[in-house]
Chains A and B, each alone.
Chain A
């Protein structure tokens, strides 16, 4: 599948601060770029997605930016809360998704 690099692998932030996760990918015709949050023992939960005809999308404290020319997209979480602690995965594809390796986010109270 598509090679997706996700950074950082771990991220610790103080409650109230922002968290940013970046993913880069190789040559691709993918048009769909979702982000998933996975809590321990559960399946991936879709938190936000963006399509290739849009550069930025925001949903409350979560935003995603996409730069198809540079082949990278990022997740931004503002005003982090302890319940934001989880593993976050970027993915891309159309009907078949290729995933990054995940970022473990810890929000310190």
Chain B
């Protein structure tokens, strides 16, 4: 049973560019959330997708957008990259059904903006 998988694992982008990160949820999960983790800090919630729609959003600008596909996988897009966007981007998945909503994280995508 594969857990949450993310790609790419590492990438370097130039300020002003755009980036797309990808996530496949844990088998049986239909809800995907994205988090940003700066060095030395706890993860910060960006947004959550369920039934291909953004359900909740944290305090992040519109440069951050996402998408969820019919197979529940998801993408995070960040436009007009800033140096401050350098961070570990984490995908988390959970199930909307069953007993409780245990949340699992992937290994993350390390983004460096230069």
Q: How far is the CB of B60 from chain A (nearest CB, A)?
A: 12
Do A46 and B104 touch (CB < 8 A)?
A: yes
Q: Which residues of chain B are within 8 angstroms of A89 by Cβ–Cβ distance?
A: 42-43
Q: Which residues of chain B are within 8 angstroms of A1 by Cβ–Cβ distance?
A: 44-45, 58-59
Q: How far is the CB of A106 from chain B (nearest CB, A)?
A: 16
Q: How far is the CB of A54 from chain B (nearest CB, A)?
A: 11
A43-B105, A46-B104, A51-B100 given; A95·B33 CB < 8 A: yes
**Does B101 sit at the interface, judged by CB under 8 A?**
yes
Q: How far is the CB of A86 from chain B (nearest CB, A)?
A: 14
Do A32 and B43 touch (CB < 8 A)?
A: no
**Does A79 sit at the interface, judged by CB under 8 A?**
no
Question: With A and B bound together, what is the CA distance between A42 and B4 in angstroms?
Answer: 13
Do A97 and B103 touch (CB < 8 A)?
A: yes
Q: Which residues of chain A are within 8 angstroms of B103 by Cβ–Cβ distance?
A: 32, 34, 46, 97
Q: How far is the CB of B99 from chain A (nearest CB, A)?
A: 9
A68-100 contact mask (Cβ, 8 Å, vs B): 1 or 0: 000000000000000000000101001111111
Number of interface residues of A (CB under 8 A): 22
Q: Which residues of chain B are within 8 angstroms of A36 by Cβ–Cβ distance?
A: 105
Question: With A and B bound together, what is the CA distance between A45 and B26 in angstroms?
Answer: 13
Q: How far is the CB of B92 from chain A (nearest CB, A)?
A: 8
Interface residues of B in 47-69 (CB under 8 A from A): 48, 55-56, 58-59
Question: With A and B bound together, what is the CA distance between A100 and B40 in angstroms?
Answer: 11
**Does A62 sit at the interface, judged by CB under 8 A?**
no
Question: With A and B bound together, what is the CA distance between A1 and B58 in angstroms?
Answer: 8
Q: Which residues of chain B are within 8 angstroms of A46 by Cβ–Cβ distance?
A: 102-105
Question: With A and B bound together, what is the CA distance between A43 and B33 in angstroms?
Answer: 14
Interface residues of A (CB under 8 A from B): 1, 32, 34, 36, 42-46, 49, 51, 89, 91, 94-102
Q: Which 7 A-B pairs have the closest CB atoms?
A: A99-B42, A43-B107, A43-B105, A43-B108, A44-B105, A96-B45, A96-B56
